[in-house]
């Protein structure tokens, strides 16, 4: 069961705008996630939020992704109920900072999420392979599309750092699985 953080309630405001407020909210978001077990998904629910700006995203969510990717934290954020009116801002920040966000709607862990941000051709093919296979390793993908296992492993690691796939060590292998069952690349 993923952790569920209601952003407006926890931050005490539905107006998430400006760099200073984003800088103020970033440590509070980290504090809210400190008890989330490593490897877990956390739903950042934007229900009751009135406005989100790119400058707030850049100061609060971009560093939060880096914090979540730190091996001491290893958390996988999904933005829930993120209004479509704010997606252009999120896309702009994602491309400018070379980050990706999983965005969905609902009250619980979604089956499907939209990818906001861009991946190169190899990363996209790798993410599709993980989603299609539910669990994969670089060794299992070795030779597919003429790509060696080492290249698959590098791509899988990149997607893991971007918080798009989860990773579990089994023996000497790293096994990767999707954060959500389905990902839309153009939604």
State yes or no: pLDDT of 1 exceeds 80.
no
Quickly list H helices, 76-186. Answer: 87-97, 121-133, 138-141, 149-161
The answer to which of 17-21, 39-43, 106-110, 124-128 has the lowest mean pLDDT is: 106-110
pLDDT for 144 = 78
The answer to which of 38-47, 48-57, 111-120, 178-187 has the lowest mean pLDDT is: 178-187
What is the CB neighbour count within 10 angstroms for residue 20?
11
CATH 1.10.10.10 maps onto the chain at 121-184
CATH 3.30.750 maps onto the chain at 3-116
Q: How many helices (H) and strands (E) does the chain have?
A: 7, 10
pLDDT in tens, 143-162: 777 778 788 889 999 999 99
Total residues belonging to the chain: 187
Q: Which residue has the higher pLDDT, 148 or 164?
A: 164
**What is the rounded average pLDDT for all residues in the chain?**
93
pLDDT for 61 = 98
pLDDT in tens, 47-56: 999 999 999 9
Percent of residues, the chain, with pLDDT higher than 90: 79
> What are the DSSP calls for 24-58, one per residue?
HHHHHHHHHHTTSPTT-EEEEE-TT--EE-HHHHH
pLDDT for 142 = 81
**The CATH number of the domain covering residues in 121-184:** 1.10.10.10
pLDDT in tens, 117-139: 999 999 999 999 999 888 888 88
Structure tokens at 108: 């619980």
pTM of the model: 0.92
Domain 3-116 in CATH 3.30.750: yes
pLDDT for 147 = 77
Please state the separation of Cα 156 from the chain's center in Å.
14
The neighbouring-strand residues paired with 102 are 115
In angstroms, the CA 163 to CA 74 distance is 9
pLDDT for 108 = 87
Q: What is the mean pLDDT of residues 102-121?
A: 93
């Amino acid at each position: 069961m993923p952790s569920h953080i209601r952003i407006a309630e926890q931050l005490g405001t539905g107006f998430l705008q400006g760099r200073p407020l984003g800088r103020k909210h970033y440590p509070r978001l980290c504090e809210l996630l400190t008890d989330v077990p490593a490897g877990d998904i956390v739903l950042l629910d934007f229900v009751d939020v009135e406005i989100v700006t790119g400058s707030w995203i850049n100061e609060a969510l971009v560093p939060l992704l880096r914090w979540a990717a730190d091996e001491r934290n290893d958390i996988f954020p999904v933005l829930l109920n993120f209004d479509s009116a704010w997606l252009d801002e999120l896309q702009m920040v994602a491309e400018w900072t070379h980050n990706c966000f999983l965005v969905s709607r609902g009250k619980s862990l979604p089956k499907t999420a939209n990818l906001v941000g861009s991946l190169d051709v190899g990363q996209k093919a790798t993410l599709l392979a993980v989603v299609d296979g539910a669990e994969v390793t670089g060794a299992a993908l070795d030779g597919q599309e003429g790509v060696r296992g080492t290249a698959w492993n590098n791509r899988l690691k990149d997607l893991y750092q971007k918080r798009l796939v989860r990773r579990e060590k089994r023996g000497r292998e790293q096994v990767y699985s999707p954060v959500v069952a389905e990902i839309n690349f153009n939604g």
